[in-house]
């Protein structure tokens, strides 16, 4: 499967599950939010970036801006993308649970390990200031 087919497959998978039940986990604080770039696209780009071995959001955004602009013409700025990603962050745990359930039915008895909690490190300046 080439990268374009993989991207489309991820997008269709995310759309299917997001519209069924994952939308309930995303945060919506305003009726006037700019949704020209959908939550499904935000999630798809993040998953595609991680699968393509990009481990930082900045790296995913730069890759998408350079190489995926044709498929995502309304890709927001980095700051807007991070804000949108934060709004849908609670979707990833149930999405991984769905993926694990589907994999278990395909390959019963197989052990799967996944981590849906990215760890944020404190800046080096704050390390010496904290006391336990």
Instruction: Return the exposure string of 75-106: e unless at least 16 CB atoms fall within 10 Å of the residue's CB, then b.
Output: bbeeeebeebbebbbebbeebeeebeeeeeee
What domain range is 103 assigned to?
A: 3-127
**CA 88, CA 117: separation in Å to the nearest integer?**
13
| pLDDT tens sequence across 46-95 | 999 998 888 899 999 999 999 988 888 999 999 989 988 988 888 988 99
pLDDT recorded at residue 106: 77
Query: Taking all residues of the chain, what is their mean pLDDT, rounded to a whole number?
Result: 81
Residue 7 belongs to a domain: yes
Please check the confidence at residue 32 and state whether its pLDDT lies above 80: no
Residue 132 belongs to a domain: no
| pLDDT tens sequence across 118-131 | 555 555 555 555 55
Number of independent structural domains in the chain: 1
């Amino acid at each position: 499967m080439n990268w374009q087919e993989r991207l489309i497959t991820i997008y269709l998978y995310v759309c299917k599950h997001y519209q069924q039940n994952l939308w309930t986990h995303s945060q919506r604080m305003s009726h006037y939010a700019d949704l020209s770039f959908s939550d499904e696209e935000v999630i798809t780009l993040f998953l595609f970036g991680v699968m393509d071995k990009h481990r930082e959001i900045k790296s995913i955004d730069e890759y998408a801006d350079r190489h995926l602009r044709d498929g995502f013409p309304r890709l927001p700025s980095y700051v807007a993308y991070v804000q949108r990603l934060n709004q849908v962050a609670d979707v990833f745990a149930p999405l991984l649970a769905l993926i694990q359930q589907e994999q278990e039915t395909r390959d019963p008895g197989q052990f799967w390990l996944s981590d849906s909690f990215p760890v944020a490190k404190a800046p080096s300046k704050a390390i010496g200031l904290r006391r336990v």
